[in-house]
Amino acid sequence: MNKHSVLVIDDEKNIRLTMMQALESLNFNIVTAVNGEEALQIMKEKAFDLVFLDLKLPGIHGMEVLQQIKSNWPNTRTIIITAHATVEYAVEAMKYGAIDFIQKPFSIKEIRELATSVINRREINESNASDYPSLITLAKHKINERNFVDANEAVSKAIAVNPNAPEAYNLLGALLEIKGDWLAAQKFYRTALDLDPTYKPAAANLARTTSLNRDGKISLSHEKDEKDE
């Protein structure tokens, strides 16, 4: 069986080494890049099944790298690596086809589980997705395809199957935010946290969206804080 190829794009050496340590144990072929320019050049020469992409890169911003990946290699799945200063871009990244994101600091176990889940995601489709995990997986696959209508349908089915799990409500909030309805999105982020106050993705999304002003823009104070980091 052919090994899956994974590209890790991050300017922090420790992150690249941690990712390599985590993913090599899964028998993946791992290539690393320190910035967007290097990564895009590598991708012109080699096909990848999965990309881990840090948004805060020197040179080309990670969001632009993501857009180029989805434009030139639409079948390559991309997971966003976010830090506190870039978590507000996570939902925006979904608009451009990011399939998932992971926030620093993360553990080797989290990386392995996420990579395995994403690599196996294509085995899930409308005909065989019926339980909660498979419906969530299908929804993320549809988000990767930028098929937000079918993603919304899969999330709604997941909630019907298990109304007490937070991830579906958080995904529904993200889909509403993609449509521009960030106030409605907040309601679903709060619902996810009501179900599980420790669910970090919903907590991060709620904190980010409550820093927005009435026009849906990041507040000037938040922008200043980000620039100062």
Q: What is the pLDDT of residues 170-198, one digit of tens each?
A: 999 999 988 888 889 999 999 999 999 99
Which residues, in sequence order, are CB contacts of 27 under 8 Å at separation 6+? Answer: 3
The percentage of residues in the chain with a pLDDT greater than 90, rounded to a whole number, is 47
Higher-pLDDT residue of 119, 111: 111
What's residue 2's pLDDT?
A: 64
Looking at residue 122, its pLDDT comes to: 65
First-last CA distance in the chain: 44
**27, pLDDT greater than 90:** no
Residue 96 has pLDDT above 90, yes or no: no
Give the pLDDT confidence score for residue 212 in this predicted structure.
Answer: 56
Domain boundaries, the chain: 5-121, 123-209
Domain 123-209 annotated CATH 1.10.150.20: no
Of the pLDDT bands very low, low, confident and very high (cuts 50, 70, 90), residue 226 is very low
Map residue 152 onto helix, strand or coil. helix
For helices 166-178 and 200-209, angle between their N-to-C axes, nearest 10 degrees: 30
Spatial separation of the C-alpha atoms in residues 160 and 39, rounded to whole Å: 41
Beta bridge partner(s), residue 32: 8
> What integer is the mean pLDDT of 157-168?
95
Looking at per-residue confidence, does 192 or 125 come out higher?
A: 192
The pLDDT of residue 217: 45
pLDDT of residue 88: 65
Cβ–Cβ < 8 Å for 47, 63: no
Number of neighbours of residue 77 by Cβ within 10 angstroms: 23
User: Cα dihedral angle (131, 136, 138, 142), rounded to 10 degrees?
Assistant: 160
CATH of 5-121, picked from 3.40.50.2300, 3.40.50.300, 3.40.50.1390, 1.10.3720.10, is: 3.40.50.2300
Confidence of residue 73 (pLDDT cuts 50, 70, 90): very high
pLDDT at position 129 is 86
Mean pLDDT of 137-143: 85
Between residues 219 and 113, the one the model is more confident about: 113
**What is the pLDDT averaged over residues 142-153?**
86
Find the range with the poorest average confidence among 135-139, 172-176, 193-197, 206-210.
Answer: 206-210
Model pLDDT, residue 224: 34
Identify which has the larger pLDDT, 129 or 163.
Answer: 163
Handedness of CA 12, 19, 106, 180 (dihedral sign): positive
Q: Which of 53-57, 84-88, 96-100, 121-125 has the lowest mean pLDDT?
A: 84-88
Name the nearest CA neighbour of 203 among 96, 57, 103: 103
Percent of the chain with pLDDT over 70: 88
